[in-house]
Amino acid sequence: MENASFLQGKRVCAAVSGGVDSVALLYFLQMRAPIDGFSLRVVHCQHGIRGEDSLADMRFVVSLCEKLALPLDVFEEDCLLKARREKLSVETAARNFRRACYESILLSGKADYIATAHHAGDQAETVLFRIARGASITGASGMKEVDGKYLKPFLHKTKAELYKLVEESGYGYVVDQTNFEKCATRNKIRLDVLPALEEAVPGATGAIARFAFLAAEDDEYLYRLAEKQVQEDSVVLCEDKPVFRRACMLLLKKMGKEKDVSRQILDEAYKLQFMQTGSRMTAKNGVEIKKVYDRLFFYLPAGEEANLPEIPFQSGVFKWGRYEISVTDAPTDGALSFDVDKLKGTVIREARTGDYIEKFGGGTKSVKKYLTDKKVSADERHRLPVVAGSDGEVYLIGGVDISQKIKVTDSTRTIGYFTIEKLG
């Protein structure tokens, strides 16, 4: 990262598996901490996929952190069982486990940022994978060095440079043999495609990574232009296709309907601009689009729920449907306070039929009846974000109230604050 001044006084947590990449990251951050003014800790996620080898990796990281006198958090999970139980691939189960670990660290207030060791090779792999699947320039822009609460300071560094860092550190590292198995598509790209490309065009990996950064700059500029075309629930007519498509995506994301949007849908919407006022279309994702003079209005059919994405409960400030959600450790006007430790394993989603909440003073009530009693309109009921468990129990309703079960008590270790702000 060219400018790390924003890390002054912050707390950074390095995700360390024990492999060469993450050990290089740990050594690099150790050197930068006194220069950039941040404190450092470590998190290790023991996923149990490789049995005794996974435990050996954990012991290596524990020993290294003891040697360096760095605070360490270790999370353990049987991701093979998790994959079977949740009907996921082992890779997806492990990735979800790691993400949940990182969010737990952030939400607990132990760190302001999570740093991961993704490097230029990972960036090139990501870009090639996305392009092969037909990605636009947005997808081809790859990963970002700073993405919300996540840092990836090695995206400009090659694998060879990371080996040099580890050699310089003298820390040693462990080897994950699953990285050399070609069962996963990304492993095939890493082990077969990129080496062949490097042989044909030396330096290709670094060049692809640089392309991703240039693409990201162009994409960010186009999105800034697109933001000017969006007005509440409509897009102002625009003949510039790159800007128009992004304006549509911004509005669809605001509606919680950005998933599975194809190039065909955006092309049909573009053509709708040139038809007479009153013309309309229904996209495959259920969104209706109507031309009214100089704008295209996007709306859901009467009675249809927004089908907003379900996401793991997390800290930070982010957009979800028609709201901006803020989950922080600092109180603000109108914030709902809660016990952070009591919301582990929950998700943010829409209210659903069968949801219930435990009221203050005891007793449960259906969320629908609860919101009716609170005089929340029918239009808003299914659009409000709720924090819920897997069994339909709701612990927090954005902008409304919290459950008795997550109230702050004398035994609360970490207090969180939840606010929502309607966009547009």
Q: Which residue has the tokens 């990281």?
A: 61
β-strand partners of 336 = 418
Q: Are residues 259 and 141 in the same domain?
A: no
Give the pairing of strands 311-312 and 347-349: antiparallel
CATH of the domain at 256: 3.30.465.60
Q: Give the model's pLDDT for residue 373.
A: 87
Asked if 98 and 82 touch (Cβ cutoff 8 Å), the reply is: no
Q: Are residues 315 and 285 in the same domain?
A: no
Q: Which residues constitute the domain of residue 385?
A: 311-422
Burial environment of residue 422 by CB neighbours within 10 A (0 to 12, 13 to 18, 19 or more):
exposed
Q: Are residues 121 and 248 in the same domain?
A: no
Residue 147, phi then psi, degrees to nearest 5: -130, 90
Residues 6+ apart with CB under 8 A from 284: 260, 262, 265
Q: Roughly what angle, to the nearest 10 degrees, separates helices 20-36 and 159-169?
A: 70
Which stretches in the chain have pLDDT values below 50? 303
Between CA 230 and CA 241 the distance in angstroms is 14
Classify each residue of 309-331 as buried b or exposed e, where b means 16 or more C-beta atoms within 10 Å of its C-beta: beeebbbeeeebbbbebbbbeee
Q: Are residues 294 and 316 in the same domain?
A: no
Q: Give the model's pLDDT for residue 11.
A: 96
Give the pairing of strands 323-328 and 316-320: antiparallel
Per DSSP, the residues of 12-58 read EEEE--SSHHHHHHHHHHHHHHHHHT-EEEEEEEE--TTTHHHHHHH
Structural domain ending residue among the three candidates 266, 299, 332: 299
β-strand partners of 7 = none
Tally of domains in the chain:
3
Per DSSP, the residues of 226-280 read HHTTEETTEEE--S-HHHHHHHHHHHHHHTT--TT--HHHHHHHHHHTTSPTT-E
Between CA 411 and CA 119 the distance in angstroms is 42
Q: Helix count (H) and strand count (E) of the chain? A: 14, 22
Between CA 7 and CA 5 the distance in angstroms is 5
The reply to whether 214 falls in a domain is: no
Q: Are residues 291 and 316 in the same domain?
A: no
Q: Give the model's pLDDT for residue 185.
A: 76
Q: Are residues 45 and 119 in the same domain?
A: yes
User: In angstroms, what CA-CA distances link 332 with 104, 326, 335, 405, 417?
Assistant: 22, 10, 5, 22, 8
The reply to whether 335 falls in a domain is: yes
The reply to whether 93 falls in a domain is: yes
The reply to whether 89 falls in a domain is: yes
Q: Are residues 271 and 348 in the same domain?
A: no
**Strands lying side by side in the sheet with 230-231:** 230-231, 234-236, 295-299, 288-292, 280-282
Asked if 15 and 32 touch (Cβ cutoff 8 Å), the reply is: no
Q: Are residues 19 and 163 in the same domain?
A: yes
Q: Are residues 68 and 150 in the same domain?
A: yes
Q: Are residues 189 and 45 in the same domain?
A: yes
CATH of the domain at 134: 3.40.50.620
Angle at alpha carbon of residue 130, lines to 165 and 133, rounded to 5° = 150
Q: Give the model's pLDDT for residue 263.
A: 85
Q: Give the model's pLDDT for residue 275.
A: 95
Chain mean position to CA 292:
35
The reply to whether 221 falls in a domain is: no
Q: Roughly what angle, to the nearest 10 degrees, separates helices 90-107 and 79-86?
A: 110
Structural domain ending residue among the three candidates 247, 276, 299: 299
**Tokens encoding 110:** 């132990």
Q: Are residues 284 and 177 in the same domain?
A: no
The reply to whether 71 falls in a domain is: yes
Indicate if the alpha-carbon torsion angle 274, 280, 284, 287 is positive or negative. positive
Q: Are residues 389 and 257 in the same domain?
A: no
The reply to whether 342 falls in a domain is: yes
Residues 6+ apart with CB under 8 A from 370: 357, 359, 397, 401
The reply to whether 220 falls in a domain is: no
Between CA 261 and CA 201 the distance in angstroms is 35
3-state helix, strand, coil in the chain (%, to 5): 40, 20, 40
Q: Give the model's pLDDT for residue 165.
A: 96
Q: Give the model's pLDDT for residue 135.
A: 83
Structural domain ending residue among the three candidates 245, 271, 299: 299
